[in-house]
C-alpha cells in the first residue's frame, strides 16, 4: 500500500506579520478565561506579547474605565522603574513611535485603540541596537489584535471595583480599607516590614458645606480624592471614611515614609483650594479647606486594625489642636 502523501506546507499562506498575529490569537484563546481578573489577564497578555514578538522586555499600559492617564498594568521588565508608571494620553502620537528612554535604550510605543478611543499602549524595549521595520510592523499588527480584550478586561474590573468604591468620590469604601489593612498587617508580620495608615480630615467640614452649594462640595471631595491618589503610589489605598474624612493605606512604609506622603498631601490640598477658588470666583474659596492628619504604623503602634486606627485618630486630634492654635481659633 502506497504511503499517504501529506501537504507539508502550512495551512494558508501567511506573511511574516500575519503569522505572529495567528500565534497571538491562539494565545489569547488560552488566557481569555482569566479576563475577569484584570491584573492576572494583563500579566499573561504582556508575557504573550513578549513571546510572540520575540522581545523579552515589554510593558503594557491601560487607561482604565474612568479615563485619565495611562497606567502601567503589567510588564516583563526586571526593574519596575525602567518604564514610567504613568503616560499622558496626549503624549501618544499616531502609529508606532520610537522613544529614547535612556542613553543606551530605546523603546517602541504604540497606542491601543478601539472604536476611535485610546485604551492603552504597549512599550517594547530594545535589548541592544535600534528597532528595524520588522519590529515596528510586527508591533502594529499585534496591538491591533488586543484592543477588544483590553476593553473587556477593564470593564470587568470596573464592575468589581464598583462594589468597593465610594461612588461619590471614586475613593475606596471604608470597609475595604479595613480589610486591606488587616491583610497588609498579616503580610508585614510575615515579611518583617512596616505598614502605615494615614487619616486626613477636612477641618470644620460642616462650615465648608454651609458656605458652598452641595454640587460644588461634592466636586471638591472628588477633586481631593484624586489629589490624594496622585500623592501616593499605585498600590496604596485611598479610602473615604466619612463626611470630609479620608484614609490612606501605605504598605511597606514606616512613619518617616508616611511623613513624606503627608507633605505631598498638603501641597495637593493647596492646589485643590486654588482650583476651587477660581471656580467659585475668587483667589480662594469663601471657606478654604484645611486638612488635619494623623498616622499610625505597624509594628510600633500595634498589630490590629482597630488599634492602628485608634492611634491614628488620636494623632489626628492632636494635629487639629495644633492647627487651631496656629490659626488663632483658640
| Nearest-angstrom CA–CA distance, 10 and 31 | 24
Please determine, for residue 3, whether its predicted confidence score (pLDDT) is greater than 60. Answer: no
Q: What is the pLDDT of residues 55-94, one digit of tens each?
A: 788 899 998 656 678 888 999 987 766 677 888 887 776 6
Rounded CA separation 107/53 (Å): 14
Q: What domains sit in the chain, N to C, each tagged with a CATH number? A: 18-161 (3.30.450.40), 172-326 (3.30.70.270)
**What is the predicted pLDDT for the residue at 273?**
79
Give yes or no for residue 299 having a pLDDT over 90: yes
Return mean pLDDT, the chain. Answer: 82
Residue 296's pLDDT band (cuts 50, 70, 90)? very high
Which uninterrupted H or E stretch holds 265?
Answer: helix 255-279
Across-strand partners of 92? none
Grade residue 142 by pLDDT with cuts at 50, 70 and 90: confident
Among 26-30, 156-160, 165-169, the range with the most confident prediction by mean pLDDT is 26-30
Q: Answer whether 22's CB lies under 8 Å from 30's CB.
A: no
The stretches of 79-173 forming alpha helices (DSSP H) are 133-143, 147-161
Task: Give the mean pLDDT of 239-255.
Answer: 93
Residue range 2-12: mean pLDDT, rounded: 35
Tell me: pLDDT of 16 over 70: no
Residue 107 DSSP SS3: strand
CA-to-CA dists, residue 32 to 26, 55, 146, 148, angstroms: 10, 22, 11, 11
What is the enclosing helix (H) or strand (E) of 198? strand 195-202
- If you average pLDDT over residues 140-150, what whole number do you get? 85
Q: Which of 128-132, 257-261, 290-294, 301-305 has the lowest mean pLDDT?
A: 128-132
Per-residue confidence (pLDDT) for residue 13, from 0 to 100: 38
pLDDT by residue (tens digit) across 83-126?
778 888 877 766 777 776 666 667 788 888 877 788 888 888 87
Please report the pLDDT score of residue 12 as a whole number.
Answer: 38
Residue 182 pLDDT exceeds 90: yes
Task: Tell me the whole-structure pTM to 2 decimals.
Answer: 0.55
Rounded to an integer, the average pLDDT of 190-212 is 90
User: Rounded to an integer, what distance in angstroms lies between the CA atom of residue 11 and that of residue 195?
Assistant: 56
**Cα–Cα distance for residue pair 26/294, rounded to 1 Å:** 52
Residue 291 confidence (pLDDT) above 80: yes
Greater confidence (92 vs 251) lies with 251
Cβ 130 vs Cβ 106: under 8 Å? yes
Percent of the chain at pLDDT above 90? 27
Most confident of 118-127, 249-258, 273-282: 249-258
- Cβ atoms of 217 and 207 closer than 8 Å: no
Amino acid at each position: 500500500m502506497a504511503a499517504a502523501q501529506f501537504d507539508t506546507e502550512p495551512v494558508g499562506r501567511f506573511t511574516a506579520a500575519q503569522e505572529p498575529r495567528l500565534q497571538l490569537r491562539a494565545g489569547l484563546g488560552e488566557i481569555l478565561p482569566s479576563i475577569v481578573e484584570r491584573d492576572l489577564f494583563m500579566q499573561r497578555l504582556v508575557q504573550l506579547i513578549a513571546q510572540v514578538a520575540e522581545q523579552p522586555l515589554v510593558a503594557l499600559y491601560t487607561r482604565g474605565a474612568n479615563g485619565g492617564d495611562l497606567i502601567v498594568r503589567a510588564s516583563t521588565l526586571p526593574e519596575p522603574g525602567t518604564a514610567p508608571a504613568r503616560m499622558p494620553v496626549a503624549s501618544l502620537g499616531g502609529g508606532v513611535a520610537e522613544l529614547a528612554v535612556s542613553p543606551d535604550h530605546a523603546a517602541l510605543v504604540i497606542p491601543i485603540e478601539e472604536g476611535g478611543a485610546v485604551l492603552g499602549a504597549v512599550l517594547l524595549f530594545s535589548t541592544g541596537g535600534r528597532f528595524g521595520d520588522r519590529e515596528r510592523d510586527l508591533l502594529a499588527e499585534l496591538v491591533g489584535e488586543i484592543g477588544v480584550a483590553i476593553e473587556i478586561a477593564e470593564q470587568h474590573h470596573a464592575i468589581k471595583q464598583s462594589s468597593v468604591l465610594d461612588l461619590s468620590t471614586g475613593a475606596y469604601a471604608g470597609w475595604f480599607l479595613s480589610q486591606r489593612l488587616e491583610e497588609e498587617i498579616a503580610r508585614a508580620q510575615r515579611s518583617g516590614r512596616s505598614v502605615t495608615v494615614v487619616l486626613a480630615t477636612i477641618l470644620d467640614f460642616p462650615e465648608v458645606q454651609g458656605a458652598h452649594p452641595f454640587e460644588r462640595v461634592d466636586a471638591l471631595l472628588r477633586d481631593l480624592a484624586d489629589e490624594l491618589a496622585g500623592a501616593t503610589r499605585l498600590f496604596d489605598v485611598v479610602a473615604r471614611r466619612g463626611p470630609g474624612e479620608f484614609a490612606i493605606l501605605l504598605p511597606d512604609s514606616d512613619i518617616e515614609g508616611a511623613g513624606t506622603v503627608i507633605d505631598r498631601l498638603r501641597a495637593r490640598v493647596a492646589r485643590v483650594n486654588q482650583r476651587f477658588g477660581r471656580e467659585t470666583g475668587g483667589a480662594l474659596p469663601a471657606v478654604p479647606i484645611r486638612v488635619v492628619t494623623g498616622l499610625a504604623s505597624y509594628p510600633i503602634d500595634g498589630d490590629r486594625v482597630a488599634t492602628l486606627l485608634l492611634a491614628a485618630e488620636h494623632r489626628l486630634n492632636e494635629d487639629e489642636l495644633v492647627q487651631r492654635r496656629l490659626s488663632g481659633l483658640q
